[in-house]
Amino acid sequence: MIRVLLLGATGQVGSALQPLLAPRFEVLAPGRRDLDLSDGEALRSYLHRARPTVIVNAAAYTAVDRVEDAPEVAWATNAAAPAIMAQCAEALGAALIHYSTDYVFDGAKDSPYTEADAPAPLSEYGRTKLAGDEAIMTTPAPYLIFRTGWVYGASGQNFLLTMQRLLRERSEVRVVDDQVGAPTWSRTIAAVTVQILDQAAESPLEFIRANSGLYNLAARGQTSWYGFASAIREDLVRRQCGVGRLIPITTSEYPTPARRPRFTVLDTSRLRDRFGLALPPWREGLEQALAEVAGAAEGEVQA
């Protein structure tokens, strides 16, 4: 049976992936207590013991602002660990699936970024992620790198849940309106990943080798953080929740330690053309996520 090693199983993408992978494959999903990805020797040892068919790396250090002052763990997790995974995949005859970020770009374009566009990260976080991508792409191991962005889910720490909380707690919430991207539901990323693995049938190594490369994987369309927040607020109003008002602001009015790119919409035509998969509009994914969050809240109340 195909053995999938899922790293980062408790994160937003990983937690969406695990229930989709489990009925199809033998899944190993070590927790942080079982495996510290910033410990390169421990990671290498674990990979050789596990001997997976496919390594799915959904783990990353994503505290963008904290990385600016304390980059060591981010470099170990986002750059060194993927390099080790690729090296071990080659040695073990396995394939690697890895998730990248739109923050490898500087946001200077006015049209969607393609896989051929040159990265130019503005932040230390973006630089760590780019280093991980480049390490994978320089090995002979079969790999798929999925570049995504503005990821959110129905659990954990993310913009959707933070905005719902702030809108309930405050009379007004100020949100940046001059950074543009495509909010992407973690379940969408997970579903696309599994659909591609399903296409591999019983030969994932050969399939991934034949299709190795970098692919943009993000929802269709675009909006600003303010537009994203407005859609979240509209849902709360429909559900008759008391909410504060939203105030659009500029990036300069909300300074952060790490610089954010102005525009990071991703062109997903290569993914569509290669695998026959069209990504849903960002609002469609958001509506499904909001329904899931509301359902979970109702369940907690009933319990």
Output the CA angle 213-82-24, nearest 5 degrees: 70
Distance of CA 41 to the CA centre of its chain: 25
- For the chain, give the number of residues: 303
Which pairing describes strands 54-57 and 180-181: parallel, antiparallel, or unpaired?
unpaired
CA 49 to chain centre: 27
SS3 call for 26: strand
- Catalytic residue flag (residue 125): yes
Q: Which residues, at least 6 apart from 9, have a Cβ–Cβ distance to it below 8 Å? A: 15, 17, 18, 29, 30, 31, 58
> Could you tell me if 257 and 69 are in contact, meaning their C-beta atoms sit under 8 angstroms apart?
yes
Q: Pseudo-torsion of CA 156, 238, 284, 226, nearest 10°? A: -70
Q: Are strands 54-57 and 26-28 parallel, antiparallel or unpaired?
A: unpaired
**DSSP H helical ranges for 12-170:** 12-21, 40-50, 64-69, 72-74, 81-92, 124-137, 159-169
CA-nearest of 114, 116, 105, 103 to 267 is 114
Q: By the 8 A CB rule, do 212 and 138 touch?
A: no
Rounded to an integer, what distance in angstroms lies between the CA atom of residue 50 and that of residue 35?
Answer: 12
Active-site residue (options: 61, 103, 113, 125):
125
- Write out the catalytic residue numbers: 125
